[in-house]
Structure 1
Amino acid sequence: MTLLILPLMESVGEADPDLGAAVWFDEHQWQLISFVISFAVIAMFWVNQHHLFAKVEFISNRLLWVCVAWLLSIVWMPVATALTGAMSDDDVLVKVVYIGTMILTSLLALAQRIVLHRHPELHSVDDAALRRGMAVDLAMAALFAVALALAIAVPVIGYFALFLLMLTGPVRRVFARLLGARRAR
């Protein structure tokens, strides 16, 4: 997560000291906002990962490679964040890369839970907790996808569409019911 700060550090080194800090903050406000959002998102992914793997006792090759892919998506996040601060707000590809990375990370977290669900010998995670986690991962991926579509379709909203993630709780409950219904059949 500390890599997120490097583009900001570089811009401070390039700043004109005669203009002052207020000018630097003004010129880099979107870069700062994207840093804070990305830091919070990565922290959320790490905390969820920590809670899940606290009860994982063994690692299979499949689980290992899904974890490596998940880690790659996390490591890529500072690049995606740097792009948001360096490129135009109108650049659709930057939005796809930035928000798409979060979609991918959510789906890879879901894949980890699916592997664990199918291989209970690897862990002592309660099945209900795995299903709740799957519902959260699905909710986040869906909300990131809606945010991406909204950011592209309504450019004036842009990255503010990510505030849709505040609906994770209600959307998670919908997915939890769906996962529970599948289990009952």
Structure 2
Amino acid sequence: MTDDEGDSPHAPGYAAERFTAFSDAVVAIAITLLILPLMESVGDISSTEGGTWRWLGDHHDQLVSFVLSFAIIAMFWVGNHRQFSRVQRVDAAVIWLMMAWLVTIVWLPVATSITGAAGSGDPVAKSIYMGSMVVTSLLSLCTRLYLRQHPGLHDTPETALIRGVGNDLSLAVLFSLALVISLLFPAIGYYSLILMGANGVLERTITRVFLSRDGRVTG
């Protein structure tokens, strides 16, 4: 058996490189799939009265959900890339946690298509769409907490791990709030996701709480 098969006497689990490359490929495919519903309707422009402007108006909800989902998947990928940048090994628990995380990423193009077809007034579509983002954030949090408990898999500084925990918690809270607001005030629709602009402030607040509990000083 090779070291990649997990028989190294000095390190637990498996080398992380192939797994992170696989994860990157899955995310790339998912973000590409977002455009397919729009591509299917582009051919209708020539036969639509009003041409391109009419098409843009008819597909407004799809266009908005596409831009939002592209930005959100990109945000999740950047966070995941940072999380695994100093991970050398992955064990079975990390692999399955990340497989579950990838399921939510692959699901997002489906949820995006649902929101684009249903429009901004469908509460079930909103719950599916934003609820999946809450689950993605929580799975990232679970992975980060597991890594924190298993330092043999990585060389990430403790402070960086705590900041990551703060970011994951912040995202889960803000996505949940955005969902609640969109359900209570249907006219707002998916624009409640503007709350994500507060992520930096909330992340720093949560991180400061965790660092102070651990006796660390943060600026």
Q: Structure 2: how far apart are the matches of 1:71 and 1:23?
A: 36
Specify which of 108, 115, 128 is matched with residue 97 of structure 1: 128
Q: Structure 2: how far apart are the matches of 1:22 and 1:135?
A: 43
- Mapped contact 2:162–2:210 kept (Cα < 8 A): yes
Deviation string 1:135-156 (CA, Å, 9 cap, x unpaired) is 0110011000000000000111
* Amino acid across the alignment from 1:5: I
Task: Describe how 1:1-16 pairs up with structure 2 within 5 A.
Answer: 1-16=31-46
Q: Structure 2: how far apart are the matches of 1:18 and 1:144?
A: 37
Specify which of 27, 31, 37 is matched with residue 68 of structure 2: 37
Q: Structure 2: how far apart are the matches of 1:15 and 1:105?
A: 36
1:157 matched to 2:188? The reply is yes
Three-state SS of the structure 2 residue aligned to 1:144 is helix
Deviation string 1:29-81 (CA, Å, 9 cap, x unpaired) is 11101100100000011111111112110001111100000000000000010
For residue 180 of structure 1, report the CA deviation from its aligned partner. 1.6
**Aligned residue number for residue 126 of structure 1:** 157
Q: Structure 2: how far apart are the matches of 1:125 and 1:15?
A: 51
* Amino acid across the alignment from 1:71: L
Task: Describe how 1:24-63 pairs up with structure 2 within 5 A.
Answer: 24-63=55-94
Q: Normalising by structure 2, what TM-score?
A: 0.81
Three-state SS of the structure 2 residue aligned to 1:124 is coil
For residue 16 of structure 1, report the CA deviation from its aligned partner. 4.7
* Amino acid across the alignment from 2:34: L
Please tell me the root mean square deviation across aligned C-alpha atoms, in Å: 1.4
Name stretches of at least 5 consecutive residues in structure 2 with no aligned partner: 1-30
Percent identical among aligned pairs is 45
For residue 184 of structure 1, report the CA deviation from its aligned partner. 3.1
Q: Structure 2: how far apart are the matches of 1:81 and 1:166?
A: 20
Q: Structure 2: how far apart are the matches of 1:94 and 1:13?
A: 26
Q: Structure 1: how far apart are the matches of 2:91 and 2:209?
A: 28
Q: Structure 2: how far apart are the matches of 1:17 and 1:131?
A: 55
* Amino acid across the alignment from 2:92: N
For residue 15 of structure 1, report the CA deviation from its aligned partner. 4.2
Query: Compared with structure 1, are the counterparts of its residues 18 and 151 closer, same or farther at alpha carbon in structure 2 (3 Å cutoff)?
Result: closer
1:87 matched to 2:121? The reply is no
Query: Compared with structure 1, are the counterparts of its residues 29 and 88 closer, same or farther at alpha carbon in structure 2 (3 Å cutoff)?
Result: closer
Q: Structure 2: how far apart are the matches of 1:14 and 1:107?
A: 40
Which deviates more, 94-103 or 7-16? 7-16
**Aligned residue number for residue 140 of structure 2:** 109
For residue 90 of structure 1, report the CA deviation from its aligned partner. 1.8
For residue 99 of structure 1, report the CA deviation from its aligned partner. 0.3
**Aligned residue number for residue 137 of structure 1:** 168
Q: Structure 1: how far apart are the matches of 2:134 and 2:48?
A: 42
Name stretches of at least 5 consecutive residues in structure 1 with no aligned partner: none
1:173 matched to 2:207? The reply is no
Which deviates more, 11-20 or 80-89? 11-20
- Mapped contact 2:61–2:120 kept (Cα < 8 A): no
Q: Normalising by structure 1, what TM-score?
A: 0.96
* Amino acid across the alignment from 2:190: Y
Displaced runs of 4+ in structure 1, greater than 4 A?
none
